[in-house]
């Protein structure tokens, strides 16, 4: 009894090699991350579900959100169930490589759409990430045919492993894609910082560089296990030890990239770092067109205002003179004072220029004792100015309104 080896009395499900034991512990961590992420994101997922429309990113989010926990719940059963026979494993082992390839393809598609949007539909982004995504899908689909059942003892679980070392390109293709994604994300952040300087930490969090960096890092570490670490034998699962964790973290970080988009998800969403001056104004297309055609400048935007109103006045005679809202207020107040004086002298109207007169209705209001405000604070949508010149020379008023 003194020389009896206690380990020989243990079943194979408990007598695990050190690397396989570490693999099972890491699988428990993977399942914990998947379950916790599913629980934490439930309220935000529900709010996203209730939003109107089904843009592409919303569809991909729902696929990733439910496919990931379902896949690894099934994989965990085969991984830990000691009653799984070798025959059953022969029919099941391709489940994880195939579903994981589908999961990674959806995640990569979501990041490609997002990156294409924040780069303002840049052809460079499209012709870089598009072929890399296609390459990823093709390579992973081919590599699924070169997996096999890891020859473990009965009761130690059902695990899929590669037949050859080159099957590591299954993970190399998405790693290259996520490297390009990270480079584009950093370049976009630096470009926005040149337009509007910002603290590096705030920039880091605003643009989600931590999310892109986490996706790249976990895939880079995984590829090191595939290409560098040498297994002790065909039953050693060291190459696939963190593949499940890689797929889970890639999915969870991608979900957070989508949830981090401000506003609608249509066409990949908008970029938070884009300055208001570079965004086209959709609230007043007529004013935008007039600003492009006439070169009229905008007045200063008051701090804290929900929208800004600029009054641009240009003479049709080609002078191109403009006034800010403050200048208009001061000038119009002086004009009204002069108008009162001339009205007392019996004139029919106050002359603004050589040929332009103020509308009589406003002066009639003053005769009735109603004090007319020249430029009210409630942002009038029109200013009535009439001209008498038969040649068409007068004053043109353009109102540009931008909502923030």
**43 and 141, same domain (yes or no):** yes
**86 and 208, same domain (yes or no):** yes
Q: Which residues contact 260 (CB under 8 A, 6 or more apart)?
A: 208, 211
pLDDT given for residue 3 in this prediction = 54
Count: domains in the chain: 2
Angle, CA of 282, 285 and 291, to the nearest 5°: 115
**226 and 309, same domain (yes or no):** no
387/389 Cα distance (integer angstroms): 6
Single out the residue in 268, 294, 320 at which a domain terminates: 268
More confident residue, 97 or 376: 97
Answer whether residue 50 shows pLDDT above 60.
yes
DSSP E strand boundaries for 168-284: none
Task: State the pLDDT confidence band at 153, using cuts at 50, 70 and 90.
Answer: confident
**203 and 329, same domain (yes or no):** no
pLDDT given for residue 14 in this prediction = 77
For 234, which DSSP code?
T
**217 and 341, same domain (yes or no):** no
Q: How far is CA 21 from the centre of its chain?
A: 39
Q: Is residue 277 part of a domain?
A: no
Domain that holds residue 396: 285-403
> Quick one: average pLDDT of 311-333?
52
Q: Which residues contact 382 (CB under 8 A, 6 or more apart)?
A: 397, 399
Q: Which residues contact 330 (CB under 8 A, 6 or more apart)?
A: none
Q: Is residue 192 part of a domain?
A: yes
**290 and 261, same domain (yes or no):** no
290/77 Cα distance (integer angstroms): 66
Q: Is residue 279 part of a domain?
A: no
Task: State the pLDDT confidence band at 282, using cuts at 50, 70 and 90.
Answer: very low
Q: Do residues 31 and 72 touch, judged by C-beta distance below 8 A?
A: yes
Highest mean pLDDT among 10-24, 59-73, 346-360: 59-73
Q: What is the DSSP string of 77-108?
A: HHHH-TT--HHHHHHHTTHHHHHHHHHHHHHH
End-to-end CA distance of the chain: 82
pLDDT given for residue 323 in this prediction = 53
Q: Is residue 363 part of a domain?
A: yes
**187 and 99, same domain (yes or no):** yes
Q: Is residue 28 part of a domain?
A: yes
**158 and 197, same domain (yes or no):** yes
> Quick one: average pLDDT of 7-12?
67
Q: Which helix (H) or strand (E) holds 201?
A: helix 200-206
Answer whether residue 187 shows pLDDT above 90.
yes
Mean pLDDT check: name the lowest of 24-28, 65-69, 282-286: 282-286
Single out the residue in 203, 233, 268 at which a domain terminates: 268
pLDDT given for residue 333 in this prediction = 63
Task: State the pLDDT confidence band at 195, using cuts at 50, 70 and 90.
Answer: confident
Q: Do residues 216 and 146 touch, judged by C-beta distance below 8 A?
A: no
| Tally of CA atoms within 13 A in the half-sphere of 393 that contains its CB | 11
Q: Is residue 194 part of a domain?
A: yes
**158 and 215, same domain (yes or no):** yes
Q: How many other CB atoms sit within 10 Å of the CB of residue 375?
A: 17
Highest mean pLDDT among 10-14, 50-54, 77-81, 110-114: 110-114
**376 and 292, same domain (yes or no):** yes
Q: Which residues contact 197 (CB under 8 A, 6 or more apart)?
A: none
**231 and 292, same domain (yes or no):** no
The whole-chain average pLDDT of the chain stands at 77
Six token digits for residue 282: 């959709």
Q: Do residues 391 and 307 touch, judged by C-beta distance below 8 A?
A: no
Q: How far is CA 176 from the centre of its chain?
A: 20
Task: State the pLDDT confidence band at 216, using cuts at 50, 70 and 90.
Answer: very high
Q: Is residue 4 part of a domain?
A: no
Q: Is residue 37 part of a domain?
A: yes
pLDDT given for residue 110 in this prediction = 96
pLDDT given for residue 75 in this prediction = 94
**148 and 262, same domain (yes or no):** yes
pLDDT given for residue 400 in this prediction = 58
* SS3 state at 311: strand
Task: State the pLDDT confidence band at 131, using cuts at 50, 70 and 90.
Answer: very high
255/120 Cα distance (integer angstroms): 22
CATH classification at residue 218: 1.20.1070
132/126 Cα distance (integer angstroms): 10
| Tally of CA atoms within 13 A in the half-sphere of 75 that contains its CB | 27
More confident residue, 289 or 20: 20
pLDDT given for residue 193 in this prediction = 86
């Amino acid at each position: 009894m003194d020389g009896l080896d206690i380990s020989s009395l243990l079943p194979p499900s408990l007598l695990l090699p050190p690397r396989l034991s570490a693999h099972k512990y890491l699988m428990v961590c993977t399942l914990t991350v998947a379950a916790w992420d599913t629980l934490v994101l439930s309220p935000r997922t529900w709010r996203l579900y209730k939003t109107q429309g089904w843009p592409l990113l919303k569809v991909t989010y729902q696929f990733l959100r439910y496919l990931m926990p379902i896949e690894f719940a099934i994989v965990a059963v085969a991984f830990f169930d000691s009653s799984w026979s070798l025959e059953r494993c022969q029919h099941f082992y391709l489940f994880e490589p195939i579903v994981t390839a589908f999961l990674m393809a959806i995640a990569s598609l979501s990041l490609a759409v997002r990156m294409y949007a924040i780069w303002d539909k840049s052809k460079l982004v499209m012709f870089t990430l598009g072929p890399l995504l296609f390459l990823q899908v093709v390579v992973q689909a081919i590599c699924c045919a070169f997996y096999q059942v890891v020859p473990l003892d009965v009761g130690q679980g059902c695990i899929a492993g590669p037949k050859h070392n080159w099957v590591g390109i299954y993970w190399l293709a998405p790693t290259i894609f996520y490297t390009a994604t990270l480079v584009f994300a950093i370049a976009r952040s630096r470009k926005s910082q040149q337009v509007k300087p910002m603290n590096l930490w705030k920039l880091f969090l605003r643009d989600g560089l931590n999310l892109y960096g986490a996706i790249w890092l976990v895939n880079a570490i995984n590829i090191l296990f595939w290409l560098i670490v040498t297994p002790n034998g065909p039953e050693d699962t060291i190459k696939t030890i963190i593949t499940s964790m890689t797929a889970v973290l890639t999915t969870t970080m991608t979900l957070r990239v989508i949830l981090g988009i401000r506003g609608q998800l249509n066409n990949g969403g908008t970029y938070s770092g884009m300055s208001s001056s570079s965004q086209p104004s959709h609230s007043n297309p007529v004013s935008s067109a007039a600003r492009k055609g006439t070169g009229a400048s905008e007045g200063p935007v008051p701090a804290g205002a929900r929208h800004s109103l600029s009054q641009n006045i240009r003479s049709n005679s080609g002078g191109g003179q403009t006034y800010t809202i403050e200048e208009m207020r001061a000038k119009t107040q002086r004009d009204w004072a002069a108008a009162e004086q001339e009205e007392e002298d019996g004139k029919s109207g106050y002359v603004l220029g050589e040929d332009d007169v103020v509308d009589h209705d406003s002066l009639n209001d003053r005769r009735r004792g109603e004090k007319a405000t020249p430029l009210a604070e409630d942002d009038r949508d029109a200013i009535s100015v009439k001209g008498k010149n038969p040649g068409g020379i007068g004053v043109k008023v353009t109102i540009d309104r931008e909502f923030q």
